[in-house]
């Protein structure tokens, strides 16, 4: 199997692994929300942090929708640059989010992981969509 051919399953697996971890954090976010708060917190503070983390997770799932749409439509499935970027970003996000989940990092760390590992590949995916469908260019 060629290097580009092996990027496709690697990209898919890292994308799905990242998605599964995000869904797991979504289901068990109580401990992560408590890690973001001081020891003596009020219910309003808890609700505020819970809402912030829920919004972050929901936006991350939206980024997955963009990236999976581009992947399954064929726009970027065989694009080696996007495949390498996406594989690296989602593998890094999977490792970082496992630590986020088990070590109960502060919620602000999630936004950094989100910006680097979810927004960047989704933004490039959107650029590829524009190039292919808007400008009628062949994907590289």
Per domain, the residue ranges of the chain are 3-37+51-134
Give me the pLDDT at residue 137, please.
66
- What radius of gyration do the chain's Cα atoms show? 17
Could you give the CA distance from residue 4 to residue 23 in angstroms, rounded to a whole number?
29
pLDDT of residue 115: 94
Give 75's DSSP letter: S
* pTM reported for the whole predicted model: 0.88
pLDDT < 70 stretches in the chain: 1-5, 137-140
Tell me: the pLDDT tens digits for 89-118? 999 999 999 999 999 888 899 999 999 999
The pair of structure tokens assigned to 120 is 């960047």
């Amino acid at each position: 199997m060629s290097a580009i051919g092996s990027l496709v399953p690697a990209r898919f697996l890292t994308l799905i692994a990242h998605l599964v971890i995000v869904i797991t954090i979504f289901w068990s976010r109580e401990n992560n929300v408590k890690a973001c708060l001081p020891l003596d917190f009020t219910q309003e503070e808890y609700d505020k942090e819970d809402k912030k983390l829920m919004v972050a997770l929901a936006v991350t799932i939206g980024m997955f929708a963009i990236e999976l749409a581009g992947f399954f439509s064929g726009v970027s499935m065989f694009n080696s640059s996007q495949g390498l970027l996406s594989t690296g970003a989602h593998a890094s996000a999977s490792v970082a989010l496992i630590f986020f989940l088990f070590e109960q990092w502060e919620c602000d760390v999630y936004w950094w992981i989100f910006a680097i590992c979810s927004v960047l590949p989704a933004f490039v995916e959107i650029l590829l969509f524009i190039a292919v469908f808007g400008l009628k260019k062949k994907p590289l």
